[in-house]
Amino acid sequence: MNMIEVVDLCYRFADGTQALTEINMTVERGEFVVMAGPNGSGKTTFFRHLNGLLSPARGTVTIDGVDVQHDPVLARQRVGMVFQDVDMQIVGETVYDDVIFGPENLGLGRNEIERRANDVLIMVGLSDQRDRHPHQLSQGEKRRLAIAGILAMQPDVIVFDEPFTHLDDSGVCIVLEQMLKLHHGGITLLVATHDLEKVICYADRLVLINAGRIVEDGLPKMILPKVEKYGVRMPCALRMGKEVWPWLAH
Ligand SMILES: Nc1ncnc2c1ncn2[C@@H]1O[C@H](COP(=O)(O)OP(=O)(O)O)[C@@H](O)[C@H]1O
Ligand SMILES: [Mg+2]
């Protein structure tokens, strides 16, 4: 069974904007999927359906056979989302408090909450920052904090919405390193970006979305040559005609 199944998903905002039209997509457990499309193509709106932040106008989203609409609490625990604007995700007065927010809401015992918080702070390399105010962190550290808060919920899927926004080179590298660790740990990853350069060489699959519709879905090496047709910038090396295929995971 596919882990994520999206069938005929349509969504329209209250002002009448048709943001998603008949989206059909499946994701297998452990896959690393990149979704690319120009600004306004529907990436964020699509991702918000995976954990029940938005409800479909039509169609269904199921996670391991459970309809997200029927059990949004479960969906939110199983599908963690790292927002594009990391400041919006900060809820705690300290790094540690921020990380325990999710597990506390799950109603876990004190020992389990502390164990999880300590483990995930080590995982993302923020143990020595646990007493700092989150707003004092760098953009890269904030994104790692968001990842820690999600990992503390022990999700099966992590969705990254434009994870490289406002990061400098070292921030990009650290976030990429986290993603690869999660991928190798068996977590299913979906990454929305209009910037393929940084991440595509690690992905199993590339999905292109344009004007709310999925227009291509397949192995990166098959889809990359078509991206410019849909307003997505091609990685430099490819544009220059260099042979990048050996770098691609798939
Ligand atoms: N809150 C909203 N109200 C009305 N329209 C919206 C809202 N959020 C996004 N949209 C519109 O929905 C479409 C998809 O947007 P979005 O999912 O944010 O795209 P992306 O993440 O690919 O940039 C765009 O036309 C956008 O203008
Ligand atoms: Mg977006």
Residue 143 structure tokens: 């994104």
Residue 241's pLDDT band, with cuts at 50, 70 and 90, is low
Distance 46 CA to ligand 1 centre (A): 10
Q: Which atom of ligand 1 lies nearest, measured to the CA of 84?
A: 21
**Atom 7 (ligand 1) nearest CA:** 13
pTM score, whole prediction: 0.93
Ligand nearest to the CA of 49: 1
**Tens of pLDDT along 113-132?**
999 999 999 999 999 999 99
- Exposed, middle or buried, 107 (CB in 10 Å: 0-12/13-18/19+)? exposed
Distance 244 CA to ligand 1 centre (A): 33
**Tens of pLDDT along 100-115?**
999 998 889 999 999 9
Residue 45 structure tokens: 């709106």
Q: Residue 78's closest CA among 93, 95, 61?
A: 61
Among 17, 55, 88, which residue has the most ligand 1 atoms within 8 Å of its CB, making it the best to mutate?
A: 17
Asked whether the beta carbons of 36 and 207 are under 8 A apart, the reply is yes
Kindly report the backbone phi and psi dihedral angles of residue 214, in degrees, each rounded to the nearest multiple of 5, phi listed first. -80, 125
**Tens of pLDDT along 191-216?**
999 889 899 999 999 999 999 999 99
237 or 187: which leads in pLDDT: 187
240: pLDDT strictly greater than 80 = no
11: pLDDT strictly greater than 70 = yes
Does the 4-247 domain belong in CATH 3.40.50.300? yes
Q: How far apart are the first and last CA of the chain?
A: 22
Residue 152 structure tokens: 């503390």
Distance 84 CA to ligand 1 centre (A): 13
Residue 24's pLDDT band, with cuts at 50, 70 and 90, is very high
**Tens of pLDDT along 28-86?**
999 999 999 999 999 999 999 999 999 999 999 999 999 999 999 899 999 999 999 98
What is the pLDDT, as a whole number, of residue 1? 73
**Tens of pLDDT along 175-195?**
899 999 999 999 999 999 988
Q: Residue 235's closest CA among 207, 247, 168?
A: 247
* Helix 139-151, helix 95-105: angle, nearest 10: 30
